[in-house]
Amino acid sequence: MDNFELEKLILHFAQSNRAEGKSPKTISWYTEMITSFAKFLSDTGRGSVLANFDISIVREFIIHEQERGLSAFSVQGKARALRSFATWLHRENYTTSHVLYNLKIPRAPKNLVEPLTATEIDQLVKNQNPLTALGCRNIAILLLFLDTGLRLSELCESRYDNAHIDEGYLRVMGKGSKERIVPIGGLAQKMLWRYIIHFRPEPLAETGNYLFLTLDGKPLRPNAVKLLLKRWGRRAGVLRLHAHLCRHTFATNFLHHAPPAF
């Protein structure tokens, strides 16, 4: 099996992950990370074959990625993806042992992430006009992020039919295709109702019926929300605004207000 091409094994790995129900985003990430190693083999004059997937060459690859200026988090991600690939290769009997079992994942700095302050949140809300379609939708998105800790993908995939606003909860499809119930508070409820009653357009597509739409009725995609938050933060003077920071702010506030455990 030493002469098996890595490209074909990567394809098989992707198909296996798809069959296990992993998300397209996760599968694409694994493929990209592992393919960069296969390219490294070709660029350094080695064959992109299973025989060259060993711990010494992987360590050389990690050093190469560090020396060309890749961030510590990116290098760490590539190392984790390669270890997962090695685990799968051993499980599928392509290798007689886990070839990266002794590979240590390079460390990445643990930076303290400060949650959004009350002043920053106030600045963001005041920067939008809740009496316009765009402003009302945007404030509803921000409040939902902060009130629920939704992931960006979960917010964009939320369906109108799964928004039980009067009852105070949403049904969302979370990571790993696991459905969960997300409680929502009074302020987010009020803004969602304002958006739905006054400003939410009729969906252009007959299927999906997403909760948040563009002004012309199309589904609001994750990249569009990322761009929206970036522009919004710039205008409001909160340059660090992004979806995961809202999720972090929710988690921090939740811990601060949680009752003590006995």
235-245 tens-digit pLDDT: 999 999 999 99
pLDDT at 259: 39
CB 179, CB 186: distance < 8 Å: no
Q: Which pLDDT score is estimated for 255? A: 60
Q: What's the pLDDT band for 254 if we cut at 50, 70, 90?
A: low
SS3 category, 233? helix
User: Which pLDDT score is estimated for 107?
Assistant: 87
Residue 113 pLDDT grade (very low, low, confident, very high; cuts 50, 70, 90): confident
Q: Which segment of 41-45, 245-249, 251-255 scores lowest on mean pLDDT?
A: 251-255
Tell me the average pLDDT of the chain.
Answer: 91
30-39, 124-133, 190-199, 204-213: least confidently modelled range? 204-213
The reported pLDDT for the residue numbered 205 is 73
- Provide, rounded to the nearest whole percent, the portion of the chain with pLDDT above 90: 78
Write the pLDDT tens digit of every residue in 182-241: 999 999 999 999 999 999 999 987 667 999 999 999 999 999 999 999 999 999 999 999
Using CA atoms, how far apart are residues 43 and 54, in angstroms rounded to an integer?
17
List, as one string, the DSSP characters of 11-23: HHHHHHHHHTT--
Distance CA 220, CA 187 (A): 22
Please tell me the distance from the alpha carbon of residue 195 to that of residue 220, in angstroms, as a whole number.
Answer: 14
> Residue 258: its pLDDT value, please?
40
Q: Which CATH architecture has domain 6-91?
A: Orthogonal Bundle (1.10)
The CATH H-level (homologous superfamily) assignment of domain 118-257 is Intergrase catalytic core (1.10.443.10)
Q: Rounded to two decimals, what is the model's pTM? A: 0.68
Ordered by start, the domain boundaries in the chain are 6-91, 118-257
Task: For residues 152-176, give the mean pLDDT.
Answer: 90
For 41-78, write each residue's pLDDT tens digit.
999 999 999 999 999 999 999 999 999 988 888 999 99
The pLDDT of residue 110 is above 80 = no
- CB of 41 closer than 8 Å to CB of 48: yes
Residue 133 confidence (pLDDT) above 90: yes
Q: How confident is the model at residue 156 (pLDDT cuts 50, 70, 90)?
A: very high
DSSP letter string, 31-83: HHHHHHHHHHHHHTT---BGGG-SHHHHHHHHHHHHHTT--HHHHHHHHHHHH
Which of 72-76, 138-142, 146-150, 177-181 has the lowest average pLDDT?
A: 177-181
